[in-house]
Chain A
Amino acid sequence: MTEIAELPFEEHAADSAVLALYRQVFAVLARDANQMVDDPALVRVDELILNAFASAGPAGLTVEQVIAACGDTSPVAVRRRFEVLRSYRAVTKVNERPNEMFYQAAFAPYVMLLFLRRLAQTGGLGELHQMLSIARLSIEDADTTLEQAQAQLQDLANVFRLLANPIMQMAKSGTVESLRSSAQPMLGNSELIDKATVFHNLATEKWPQLLPECTQLRMALAAYRDAVNAAARRLIDRAGRTRALGLLPAEKWRSFARDATGDELAAALDGLLFDAPNPHFTVDDLLDAVEEGLRTDTGRTPPPRPRIDDEPGPEQVGADMEAELLATRAEELLAGRDEVTVAELLDTAGDWAAGRRVLSDLTAIGLRPELPYLLTWGDGLRINVVGDLTWVTDGWFRRRTPAEAPA
Chain B
Amino acid sequence: MNEHDTALWWAKIRSGGPQQAPAGSPSPAGMRRLVEPDAQSVWFLPNLPPSAAPEVLAEYRQEPATLQDSAGTLRVFAACLRCCWPDPGTDLWPGQPADLTDVDQVLQQLTPGRDRASRRKLLSASLRRLEASRWVLQTADRVRLGPRVTGWGSLELSTLRELWRMIPDPQPKSDPGGGEVP
Contact = CB atoms under 8 A, between A and B. Distances in A.
Interface of A: 273-294, 296-300
Given A276-B17, A279-B129, 13 more contacts: A278-B17, A278-B65, A278-B148, A280-B54, A280-B57, A280-B64, A283-B159, A285-B70, A286-B74, A289-B78, A296-B113, A297-B112, A299-B114
Given A276-B133, A279-B65, A280-B54, A286 B14 contact: no
Given A274-B15, A290-B166, A296-B113, A279 B77 contact: no
A158 to B, nearest CB: 60
A320 B71 CA distance: 42
Contact of B133 (A278, A283, A284, A288): A278
Contacts of B70: 279, 285, 289
A81 to B, nearest CB: 62
B152 A290 contact: no
7 contacts: A276-B15, A276-B17, A280-B57, A286-B81, A286-B163, A287-B163, A293-B109
A266 B165 CA distance: 46
B110 interface: yes
B15 A275 contact: yes
B113 A279 contact: no
Given A279-B65, A290-B163, A290-B167, A296 B112 contact: yes
Contacts of A285: 70, 74
Contact of A279 (B67, B75, B111): B67
Contacts of B132: 278
A197 to B, nearest CB: 58
Among A276, A279, A286, find the residue whose CB has the most chain B CB atoms closer than 10 A: A279
A262 to B, nearest CB: 18
Interface string B129-157: 10011110000000000001000100010
A290 to B, nearest CB: 5
A16 to B, nearest CB: 76
Contacts of B64: 279-280
Contacts of A288: 74
Interface of B: 11, 14-17, 54-55, 57-58, 64-67, 70-71, 73-75, 77-78, 81, 109-114, 129, 132-135, 148, 152, 156, 159-160, 162-163, 166-167
Contact of A293 (B14, B55, B75): B75
Contacts, number: 89
B111 A293 contact: yes
A277 B65 contact: yes
B55 to A, nearest CB: 7
A297 B70 CA distance: 20
Contacts of A293: 71, 75, 109-112
Interchain residue pairs A-B with the least CB separation, the first 3: A299-B113, A278-B133, A289-B74
A300 B115 CA distance: 11
A291 B159 contact: no
Contact of B55 (A273, A275, A282): A282
A306 B127 CA distance: 35
Contacts of A281: 74, 77, 135
Nearest to A274: B15
Contacts of B110: 290, 293-294
Contacts of B167: 290, 294
Given A275-B14, A294-B110, A296-B113, A289 B75 contact: yes
Contacts of B55: 280, 282
A321 B154 CA distance: 58
A298 B114 CA distance: 10
Among A285, A286, A288, A292, find the residue whose CB has the most chain B CB atoms closer than 10 A: A286
Among B113, B129, B152, find the residue whose CB has the most chain A CB atoms closer than 10 A: B113
A353 B11 CA distance: 83
A287 B156 CA distance: 11
Contacts of A274: 15
A298 B66 CA distance: 29
B54 A290 contact: no
A281 B11 CA distance: 22
Contacts of A287: 159, 162-163
B17 A283 contact: no
A288 B163 CA distance: 10
A282 B58 CA distance: 10
A283 B110 CA distance: 16
Among A281, A297, A299, A300, find the residue whose CB has the most chain B CB atoms closer than 10 A: A281
Contacts of A277: 65
